[in-house]
Structure 1
Amino acid sequence: MLEAGFPAIADDLGAALDALEAPRVDIPVIQPAEPFLDMAGEDLRRRIFLTESETGESLCLRPEFTIPVCRAHIAENVATPRRYSYFGKVFRQRRDGENEFFQAGVEDLGEPDEARADARAISEARALVVRFATNQNLTITLGDQSVFEAVVAGLGLPAGWQKRLVHTFGNEQALDAMIARLANPDSAADPDASVASFLARGDAAGLQAHIEEVMQATGYSTNASRSPAEIAARLIDKQALDATRLSEASLNALKTFLALDVPCDRAADTLSAFARDAGLDISAAHRNFVARLEALSERGEDLGAIRWRATFGRPLDYYTGLVFEIAAGDRAPVLAGGGRYDRLMALLGAREPIPAVGFSLWLDRIEKVRAGA
């Protein structure tokens, strides 16, 4: 059933989605808030409209479709591969535009050929944008978190720093700040004098006893927070991370990688040349990268018209590989976007890992483009 106020293209877009052989799924507007708060990322978390049930359960207005579509699939316990489409309102605070707006899209769950599934998502999204936002000089931008992860792992950084860097993927300002800290560890992060000696000696047991003593003296309840052992472990880990310094060669390699920005018909060779010059083994990520480009070419997509940027990501924490956006020209509003989220299904309770990729269309922006606004 179409919701009130659907855009003028609703019927035609609904037919176009049906043609993609992705059955429409009905997602309730009221959703449990916890999955979004835990898995969607800070950018979305701070814009969600929250409420509570009579029993105190934290609820929210549907801020996006990917998480609830995945939860619905798990609840139905149906076989994969399986595709779903959706069409309805989402509710979240925005700097520009209304706080409730329509989105449509497709989620592709369980397709074992990930390169072909990625290419299909990009190709279908582009075709829908071309059909409904006509006469536009579109820009298509790709990123790949798995390639970034492979590069960071190849630099030999501690696991904690790798996690920090990966968490900032797509946020260029935060990533620059992290790299600056790796180049010049922050002396302002020195520990409190009361624990510095324990950390200097690597005395975990003594640090734990000291923390426990302080907590007892101040009446701080361990029931309301982490245990002394957990706090000591975090302090030791933090000291090790803060003391880590990236070598000049590794720093230059990371900066060189992050500066890569080329059309996709040159992307495979550019990435290969970078890895060779930097002495990094990213062969597995490179193979997957090339397979996706080949799958795009097989679908008739013009690789020269698609751009790969090494720093490009999207502000949702559940992405794991491909990310992409389609806009009506440089620096124009995004009309469609999506990516791969292979870990999300397991985090939401699936019994086994399920590869997944999808995309969304911003229908209010498409309507403005159609109107020439």
Structure 2
Amino acid sequence: MQLGAPVFAADLARALDALQAPRADIPVIQPAEPFLDMAGEDLRRRIFLTESETGESLCLRPEFTIPVCRAHIAENVATPRRYSYLGQVFRQRREGGNEFYQAGVEDLGEADEARADARALSEARALIAQFAPRRELVILLGDQSVFEAVVAGLGLPSGWQKRLIHAFGNEAALDAMIARLAGPDASIAPDPSVAGFLAVGDAAGLEAYIEGVMQDTGYSTNASRSPAEITARLMDKQSLDATRLPPASLDALKTFLALDVPLDRAGQVLAEFADHAGLDIGAARKQFEARLAALSDRGEDLSVMRWRAAFGRPLDYYTGLVFEISAGEGGALAGGGRYDRLMTLLGAQAPIPAVGFSLWLDRIEAVRAQP
């Protein structure tokens, strides 16, 4: 076992082996680009970056999911396939050390998504219960795909849908966007020099104006967006800023984000919400309910878990289930979720369903030390 690992790490390694998930060997030095492109703003600003002698941007391994997936694709391994890992990750944290141990499992290619989701959550809970025994666990679930279905059902422009989906799990950002959808904000009025073009939708005139300004100031289009790109961006922003949600749709979005119920009631509550709001989210509901059934089939007690509609995790690659397990104060002991889009973004030739979870070993160690 690696130097500085928690005392229970060897036992945890054996527990991971028992899950029939072969250990992945992931180098500490990683190419930075995949993390910068796909991991989300919260992780991006915490990464320790460096550079190779050839100028390639590198980083210390900030997490395991992306490199495990990249290794799977590079080795062209058949699916379904499960991997486990246990080792150090390196990222800046507000609390705790910047070098700490994580362990976890990545489950790639399982066609029965509800079964795989239930297995990930169940295995994470069992491991926490094993290595932090006699603790009352708080198990919180969210679902990115249900949120996306609700947003799509409200009839918002695709640009606003992308904004809201990107902010899922960030309560402050979502509140700010909902406030903007409720009414205009004078502070975001366009610059007077371009306001006239935007007001009448004169894209050609705006592009010519921007090109003239760039020529007058000596601003090189080779080092920035072209006048056409800037025009398209401004026109799109103007359209989005002018969008307002009808009161009924705004109330439906607020009502959905306020849902917070025990998991054994979640299916019924979600169905009642969709019916009352008149939203067709049938496909997302079907998968949601299949996951509940799969968890019950594994013997999990849904009454001690909670579903919170607004709950997300600060990584951009999640697409469906998200969850965290904690034991009082001190942050999540485990977290994970589904990330079906990540594999193709990383270069897989065909879509590969994927779900996984991570354990924070330093937090588990702190909980174990409590009386």
Q: TM-score, normalised by structure 2?
A: 0.99
Matches within 5 A, 1:113-192: 113-192=112-191
Q: Partner of 1:46 in structure 2? A: 45
Q: Partner of 1:79 in structure 2? A: 78
Matches within 5 A, 1:1-373: 2-329=1-328, 331-372=329-370
- 1:305 counterpart letter in structure 2: V
Q: Distance in 1 between matches of 2:150 and 2:83?
A: 33
- Size of the alignment, in residue pairs? 371
Q: Identity across aligned pairs (percent)?
A: 79
- 1:367 counterpart letter in structure 2: E
Comparing 194-203 with 286-295, greater Cα deviation is found at 194-203
What's the secondary structure of 2:231's corresponding residue? helix
- 1:187 counterpart letter in structure 2: A
Comparing 314-323 with 206-215, greater Cα deviation is found at 206-215
- 1:96 counterpart letter in structure 2: E
- 2:170 counterpart letter in structure 1: N
Unpaired runs of 5+ in structure 1? Answer: none
Deviation at 1:203, TM superposition (A): 1.3
Deviation at 1:332, TM superposition (A): 4.4
- 1:101 counterpart letter in structure 2: F
Deviation at 1:185, TM superposition (A): 2.0
What's the secondary structure of 2:359's corresponding residue? strand
Deviation at 1:115, TM superposition (A): 0.5
Deviations 1:305-351 (A, max 9, x none): 1100000000001111100000013x442100000001111111111
Comparing 190-199 with 271-280, greater Cα deviation is found at 190-199
- 1:278 counterpart letter in structure 2: A
Q: Distance in 2 between matches of 1:332 and 1:63?
A: 20
Deviations 1:205-244 (A, max 9, x none): 1111111111111111110111111110010000000011
Q: Distance in 2 between matches of 1:58 and 1:109?
A: 28
Deviation at 1:187, TM superposition (A): 2.0
- Structure 1 residue ranges, 4+ long, deviating more than 3 angstroms after superposition: none
- 1:64 counterpart letter in structure 2: E
Deviations 1:46-73 (A, max 9, x none): 1111111111111110000000000000
Q: Distance in 1 between matches of 2:265 and 2:330?
A: 24
- 2:59 counterpart letter in structure 1: C
Q: TM-score, normalised by structure 1?
A: 0.98
Q: Distance in 2 between matches of 1:215 and 1:95?
A: 42
Q: Distance in 2 between matches of 1:66 and 1:186?
A: 40
Q: Distance in 1 between matches of 2:347 and 2:281?
A: 31
Deviation at 1:188, TM superposition (A): 1.9
Deviation at 1:303, TM superposition (A): 0.6
What is the Cα-based RMSD across aligned positions, in Å? 0.9
Q: Distance in 1 between matches of 2:14 and 2:192?
A: 67
Q: Distance in 2 between matches of 1:115 and 1:8?
A: 34
Comparing 113-122 with 204-213, greater Cα deviation is found at 204-213
- 1:157 counterpart letter in structure 2: L
- 1:358 counterpart letter in structure 2: G
- 1:103 counterpart letter in structure 2: Q
Q: Distance in 2 between matches of 1:10 and 1:142?
A: 27
Q: Would the aligned equivalents of 2:330 and 2:363 in 1 still touch at CA under 8 Å?
A: no
Q: Would the aligned equivalents of 2:333 and 2:363 in 1 still touch at CA under 8 Å?
A: yes
Comparing 285-294 with 206-215, greater Cα deviation is found at 206-215
Q: Distance in 1 between matches of 2:365 and 2:129?
A: 13
What's the secondary structure of 2:168's corresponding residue? coil
Q: Distance in 1 between matches of 2:240 and 2:226?
A: 21
Deviation at 1:184, TM superposition (A): 1.4
Unpaired runs of 5+ in structure 2? Answer: none
Deviation at 1:97, TM superposition (A): 0.7
Deviation at 1:189, TM superposition (A): 1.4
Deviation at 1:6, TM superposition (A): 1.6
Q: Distance in 1 between matches of 2:66 and 2:205?
A: 44
Q: Distance in 1 between matches of 2:155 and 2:128?
A: 41
What's the secondary structure of 1:334's corresponding residue? coil
